[in-house]
Structure 1
Amino acid sequence: MQDDDFSLFHAELRGVKPIKHDRADVGKPKADRNRITTLRQAATTRVDAVKVDGLSDQFVIDVGPEDELHWARDGVQEGQMRKLKLGQIGFEGSLDLHGMTVEKARDTLWEFLAEACKLEVRCVRVTHGKAVRKDGKRPMLKSHVNTWLRQHPQVLGFTSCLAKHGGTGSLYVMLKRTMLDGRDE
């Protein structure tokens, strides 16, 4: 009986050619799980770290330490800006950016303005300082804040503060209020 099985086996293998290489093709290589985990963590970290807030540093308007700043969005009444400059619109919140890096100041300013808008605050004060630099260059934070506030969709206008509130080292910032839409512009 064993001979019959052997004969049958040989009969079935007639015409079969031996394989020339000794490695099997197992298909697509399996993914390296450690590498995938690392890539997933890196992707998650990057998403958290990159904050799209609309405040660009592409073009920063350089200003001097003693320069008075004044800007109003199109449609904002001159009378409102005059009141703002004279300190007649009381500020309900204040933010001090002294000693912060540009990136930290940017994040802090964005969060502060978001909170102020959520609370329907009309006017805030932002202190950026004058940063008279030894190397003679323009103050970085003051220049960046001047640029960022012009880009923020909720900012109607800003002007340098009165001396008692920080002078050219601070700004009164007038914000839109959504509940009273139409009255601010």
Structure 2
Amino acid sequence: MPDDDLSLFAQQMQGVRRIHVDQADVGKAKPNRAVQQMNRKNALQSSASELVVDGLSDQFVLDVGAEDALYWARDGVQDSQLRRLKAGQIAFEGSLDLHGMTVEKARATLREFIEEALRLEVRCVRVTHGKAARLDGKKPMIKSHVNTWLRQHEKVLGFTSCVPRHGGTGALYVLLKRHMLEGRDEY
């Protein structure tokens, strides 16, 4: 190299320190097969033992048809309240749409939605589950699961299919139990 280039190079390299590592990084380490197999085995065991998630079980699902109107009430709920609910005369203060979700995602979303409604002291909500008939000829999956889950939730007083303008047999009005707040009467 000419002196110009050497001095220019030396000038550019001022303050640079030499790296004294002589090993190259060749990427990720190979996975340990024994650890992988143990992790898979543990995952299978834990998922098989979890039949109930947040109290909403799938051990027994009540299959319902796509056009079936749903109606259920907990013992002690007044018939007049359920008639008003069925007629769409109790305003819903929140709405949830479960279309396109997997069963697990729908379960978690429904649980979170109900817990939030209870926290806010909401009396009635609408849950849209859809009524998609499956290609294999079986009953609608999300609708059947929602029908089962709501019956299991201790804070659900009752539910009924909506009037057509609010989704008909593809949605439910859900009546929730509230805590007594000052100035509010429990129905």
* TM-score, normalising length: structure 1: 0.71
Runs of 4+ in structure 1 over 3 Å off: none
Question: Does 2:162 align with 1:161?
Answer: yes
Matches within 5 A, 1:1-185: 52-180=53-181, 183-184=186-187
* Alpha-carbon shift at residue 135 of structure 1 (Å): 1.3
Q: Secondary structure at the match of 1:82?
A: helix
* Partner Cα distance (1:68, 1:109) in 2: 20
Per-residue CA deviation, residues 69-98 of structure 1 (Å, 9 max, x unaligned), is 000000000000000000000000000000
Alignment RMSD, CA only? 2.3
1:182 CA displacement: 7.7
* Structure 1 residues 144-175: Cα deviation after superposition (integer angstroms, max 9, x where no partner): 00000000011000000000000000000000
Structure of larger gyration radius: 1
Tell me if structure 1 keeps the 8 A contact 2:180–2:186.
no
The AA in structure 2 aligned to 1:159 is T
Q: Percent identity?
A: 72
Deviates more, 1:131-140 or 1:54-63: 131-140
Q: Deviation at 1:134? A: 1.7
Distance of aligned partners of 1:131 and 1:118 in 2 relative to their CA distance in 1, 3 Å threshold = same
Give the deviation of 1:179 after TM superposition.
2.2
CA distance in 2, matches of 1:159, 1:171: 5
Structure 1 Cα separation of the partners of residues 141 and 90 of structure 2: 27
Counterpart of 2:104, as a letter, is E
TM-score (norm: length of structure 2): 0.71
The residue matched to 1:159 in structure 2 has which SS? strand
5+ long unaligned stretches in structure 1: 1-34
